[in-house]
Amino acid sequence: MYLILLGPPGVGKGTQAQFLIDDLGAVQLSTGDVLRAAIANGTELGKQAKQYMDAGDLVPDEVILGMIHNKLVELEGKAVIFDGFPRTEAQAQGLDVELEKLGKSVDKALELTIDDQVVVDRLSARRVHAGSGRVYNLLFNPPKKEGVDDVTGEPLMHRDDDKEDVIRHRLEVYHKATEPVAGFYEKQGKLVKVDGDGTVDGVRQRVKDALKGLG
């Protein structure tokens, strides 16, 4: 079983991916992990990727797809959840080609949907304790005392990437680059949309219902 997980930043993909790993006995495959492993192991593709990265350039799709192919061979027989990949329609087309070489195909693309304003409200309400990494949210998990960590009493930080203008830019990038990926799978009849708003458990149940029969 090969599942694509899509959705904007702040929709809770990471949380739901962890549930899917448990529920389906799946392996989570992220390009970041694959890239780091290939570079650490000194593979030919890893060496190519490192050259691009050292020069400050993006690693080309063909190199990423080659790494993905090698990892899929390694994971053959296991359910795989693609996390953060494909990011573009070209990558989605490339992934289809690589899976076809293995006699496989994407089973479903699950898109968690949510209103942009909800994302802005959620993420801009996050506060972090720098020393421990403890995360609070002013909407549903606020600190006991405003502005300070529950354990140490030290000030909480509002990270730059949790500020409204940055969040809106990230959403703009998502809509422009990644939404066409959802359209690609919709044309194939493989896209399932799930409302990502509400409680974590509520979203988990909707995801389970949408994927009944898979795994």
Cis peptide before 142 (omega within 30 of 0): no
Alpha-carbon distance values, 29 to 18, 86, 161, 181 (Å) = 12, 11, 24, 17
Q: How far is CA 152 from CA 59, 106, 121, in A?
A: 42, 47, 26
- List the catalytic residues: 13, 87, 126, 159, 170
Distance CA 137, CA 142 (A): 5
109 has which bridge partners?
Answer: 4, 191
**By C-alpha distance, which of 141, 83, 78, 111 is closest to 206?**
111
Q: In this structure, are residues 105 and 2 in contact, taking their beta carbons and an 8 Å threshold?
A: yes
Instruction: Tell which residue, 35, 71, 66, has the closest CA to residue 51.
Output: 35
**Contacts of 18 by beta carbon, 8 Å cutoff, 6+ apart:** none
Specify the amino acid at residue 125: A
From the list 43, 36, 175, 196, the residue with the least C-alpha distance to 111 is 196
